[in-house]
Every structure is written in C-alpha cells, then in structure tokens.
Structure 1
C-alpha cells in the first residue's frame, strides 16, 4: 500500500473513531422506571392496565419549558395515540400508553412531556425522538411533593374540553369510547381496580413491592388457601409490569366492585403479614410459587 493510501486510510479511521466518541448511548434499562415517583403503583396502572384515566402532575421549579404551564394532565391514551398534546386552551396532556419505548419508560414519558409542554398551543405531538442516556427522567422534572391521584373515566371525552376535534380525531374518540373496559377504582387498597371484560369481572391490583417479594408473599397465601377474595373467587395469576406484580382475580360477575371492598381489605392484611414473614418457603409454598410463575405474563 502506498503512502497516500495509508494516509487516506488513517484519516478515515480517525473520523470513524471521532464519530464513535460523540455517539450518544441509548437509554439504559430500568426495571422499575417509576420508582421514586409519588404513587409508583398508579403510574404503573396508568401505563399498563387502565383504559381511560387521568391524573395531574406539576413541573418542579425551573424545569418547565419557557412559556409552558406548570401543571400537566397525565392520560392513559390521547387522540390518534399521540404521545402528547398542547391543547388550544393551553392545557398540556401527556399520554402514558404511547410514544417511543426504550429501556426506561420514565425517560420515554419525560421526552413526550417536554415535547408537549414546548409545543405551540393547539398542537399535538405525533412522535418523539428515541430516549438516550442524556434524556432527563420524570423524577428529574416533576414536583415530587405533589400526590399522584388517578381519576377513572367511563370514556375519553376528557380529550375534548372546550375545544373541537377535527374529523379524524372525532372518529378516533368514538372508536376509543366503544373499546373502553368498564373500570372502577377500589377504596380498600391503593391501585386496585375492578373491571368487566365481556361477561367476566376481575380485580387487578398493583402491588408496591419488588415482583420477587410479592410473588413469594402470594405463594405463601396461595399454599394456605388464603389468596382468594371470598366466595367462588380465585387468583388467576399475575402480570409483571414495570418491575411490579399485578395479581388478577376472577370474580362473581353478578356482584359489583363495592361487594368486594371488605374482602379486598382482608386480603391486604393477610398479604402484609406474608410480606413480613422471614421464614423460608415450605415445600407447598414453593410448589405454589412455581405455579404462579408459570402463569405470569410480562407486559411490554
């Protein structure tokens, strides 16, 4: 190889090296992306299991984009599955069940939040860039002293407010309302939701402990015949979602959510005792755990 060729080759290699040095790494995986936020379990519920719900959040001081309102409405789904929306009346919406999906849902939602807050009024955020290691997280942007309180809706009419949707958005609203699963927030436990799917009814409960701790506690209760919610109810299994466990019970379809409040409260007392136990799992409990694990499904 001649000297000129070697010089060209060396220059190309140097350029490639410089490019690699400036390349931004993707967002790292975070098993519990909402850990550290108020009501982590309801963030998980909004992200993974609720059909139509909203909550209110606020930027921490100095974190909101210029000319953006401090308060933001978090929603499960927005029209056309937009990640965010800056409505004509100035309201900023953040959609939890859309947008880019990296290894950290908190960074993904922070990207959508900043895009929506910084958009002009009346402008939806149709897409967002991929999150990177340099993207802030929700924990970096939000006022963490503010509680995160979920409101469950019968449909998505909260999309409209005082503004009008165009024809495409109206059609999207109609389709979304037709698909909503009737859901009721329970009072006996945080992040517990009764729902009706077809002719069957269920309770889905987001547990606050790490999924391994929660699985052991459920196994203790299941082996002792204490995992049900009374009557003919039964524990169907559990989802794994954002590092937490979401057990699901099959219920009597003739009963309403209110009929299960006392039974759910009793379960939570038994569950707390099972979580606090330091005894090794018995053989029966290990078998119950194996059965639970075989029926677990990871969301996303």
Structure 2
C-alpha cells in the first residue's frame, strides 16, 4: 500500500510540473542544450529563466526566428537607442561564429546563430551588442561574447527603435569583408563558408517565407505568427480541402517549431525557384486567413488531419 502511495505521489508531482511549466521533466529542454528539462532549466539553479518566444514584440519577429534557425546568410541593420550614430548590423552568422564584433570600421555586428543557452536569446544578443557598442565608443575593436548569464539586463525589445526591419538575404558571406580595406588572406576562409551556404531567398509577397535549394530538393519554409493551436486547425482545414498545395507537385511535409512559432515546410519540385512561389504564396495566405477565421465545428476528417499534422512537428528551439 505504501509503495502504491509513493508511486501515486511521484506521478502527481510530475503531472504538476508539466501543468505548471508546460514541459515534462523528462523532455528535452527547449533551450536547445540537449539535456533533459529536469537536468537543465527545470533543475534547481539550472536556469534562472527560459523564454519560449524571445523575439515577441520585436518588428519582424518571424524573420528573426528564420534568421536564427533556417537562413544561412542574411543581415538586418538596426538602430539602437542611444547609439544612433553607430552602424549596427544583426547577422545570421558572423565570422568565427562570433556572438558580436566591434569592427575596425566602427561598425558593430551581432550574430543570431549563437548558442549561449542562458534561457533568453533576446537578452543574450542584447548583452553582447551593448558590450560591442561600448568597445566601439572606447575606440576599441574585437570579438565580444558571454561567459556567464547576462542577468537582468535589457533585451533587444528595450534597445531596438526600428518600426520595421529590412532583411537582406545573401548568396554567401562576402558581406563579412564588406567593411575591410585589405582583404588579402581572407579568400580561403570566405570560399569555404560560401560553399556551405545553401541558396536561399526570401519571398517578397508575404512575410517570413523562405525558399531554399539543398541540392537534391527545394523547400519553402514559412515562419508564421499565429498561435499554434489555431494554426494547426487552419492548416488541417486546408489539407482536407486540398488547398495546402502551394504549387503543382509541391507537398506539405510538416512543421518546425522554433522560439514559440511554427514554420510549415513544403517540398517543392526541383527547378521551382523562388519567383514561381510569389503569387501562389499570396493566394495561400488568403486561404489560410479564411481558415483561421472559420469557427465552425471540426469534422472527423479535419480532426484526423489535425492529429496527423501535430505528429509532423519537429522542435528546433
């Protein structure tokens, strides 16, 4: 009897943890550390904070998620409060995978594809960005990183004054040396980096949709801002009606979940290219908006499709 009581108590405690935190203690920690939640941010002292949607409230949230997780080479100029006179560039990946750089040119760069794993990507980027800005103001240059959690400092949301972001997707990483006068000796490293960058393009007709060519396949990966449950239902409605095919021959294969948002993914026929997706993406967005507004009861077929879609999600972060 006592053993059963202990088991019941342990199960009840675990259920409470899931209910309160929304994460099973045995599940992978959403911070991306590779550890179980109970051994990472779910452990006593294992993490002061975990922000599931770190870019919420920033202009271009969906694009920032894409640049963090999906896009090889892209840049975004930023205006930082109190530093209007310093050119600031937010990049997908910086040289040497640096968190931030105070450049000899007087520019400041910050990288998104850095895994500090302190629980809040926005605060991590803001911390190295401010350190790099301080270096430039002091007439110094060099790489800046974090060796400890940034604490209660400002987040990007507190620093960025731009109302909208201008995303530039690059074919490679030539922008790494755009502010360098003497480029000698950099050719080999740049060539190696460029070879690893898959061709990628951002659609201009809709927000945060990216075409990419992996060599053997082409994909459309589209980060969407809608709440997960609503988006799953809407996509299920479109799937049942056959309206989830972007272009003839395309196949909706599932979704990434990253930083609190879903990114539906389509396999495309080889040779499709980004330009051919522009008008179909607009039509799909209109159909999706209509499905999101549909409050009618779900049919058995839609429920089944929704369950299938839920099983085709891969969490990145």
TM range (shorter): 0.7 to 0.9
Unpaired runs of 5+ residues, structure 2, are 1-44
Distance verdict in 2 for CA 1:116–1:171, change over 3 Å: farther
Give the deviation of 1:133 after TM superposition.
4.4
Contact 1:55–1:73 under 8 Å retained in 2: yes
Higher RCO structure (Cα 8 Å, ≥6 apart):
1
Select the residue among 235, 252, 263 that pairs with 1:235. Answer: 252
Contact 2:255–2:263 under 8 Å retained in 1: yes
Distance verdict in 2 for CA 1:278–1:257, change over 3 Å: same
SS in 2 for 1:139: helix
Structure 1 vs Structure 2 CA RMSD: 2.1
Q: Quick check: 1:100 aligned with 2:121?
A: no
Give the deviation of 1:155 after TM superposition.
0.6
SS in 1 for 2:304: helix
Contact 2:225–2:261 under 8 Å retained in 1: yes
Select the residue among 123, 128, 146 that pairs with 2:146. Answer: 128
Give the deviation of 1:97 after TM superposition.
0.3
SS in 1 for 2:213: strand
Q: Residues of 2 paired with 1:166 and 1:119: CA distance?
A: 25
Contact 2:102–2:144 under 8 Å retained in 1: no
Q: Residues of 1 paired with 2:242 and 2:256: CA distance?
A: 20
Superposition pairs of residues 102-121 of structure 1, within 5 angstroms: 102-120=118-136
Distance verdict in 2 for CA 1:280–1:31, change over 3 Å: farther
The aligned residue for residue 85 of structure 1 is 101
Distance verdict in 2 for CA 1:124–1:236, change over 3 Å: farther
Select the residue among 233, 237, 249 that pairs with 2:266. Answer: 249
Q: Residues of 2 paired with 1:122 and 1:133: CA distance?
A: 25
Q: Quick check: 1:210 aligned with 2:231?
A: no
Give the deviation of 1:171 after TM superposition.
4.5
Query: When the two structures are superposed, what TM-score results if normalisation uses the length of structure 1?
Result: 0.83
The aligned residue for residue 138 of structure 1 is 156
Give the deviation of 1:199 after TM superposition.
2.0
Give the deviation of 1:124 after TM superposition.
3.0
**Greater radius of gyration (CA):** 1
Query: When the two structures are superposed, what TM-score results if normalisation uses the length of structure 2?
Result: 0.79
Q: Quick check: 1:44 aligned with 2:65?
A: yes
Q: Residues of 2 paired with 1:166 and 1:131: CA distance?
A: 37
Distance verdict in 2 for CA 1:273–1:118, change over 3 Å: same
Unpaired runs of 5+ residues, structure 1, are 1-23
The aligned residue for residue 213 of structure 2 is 196
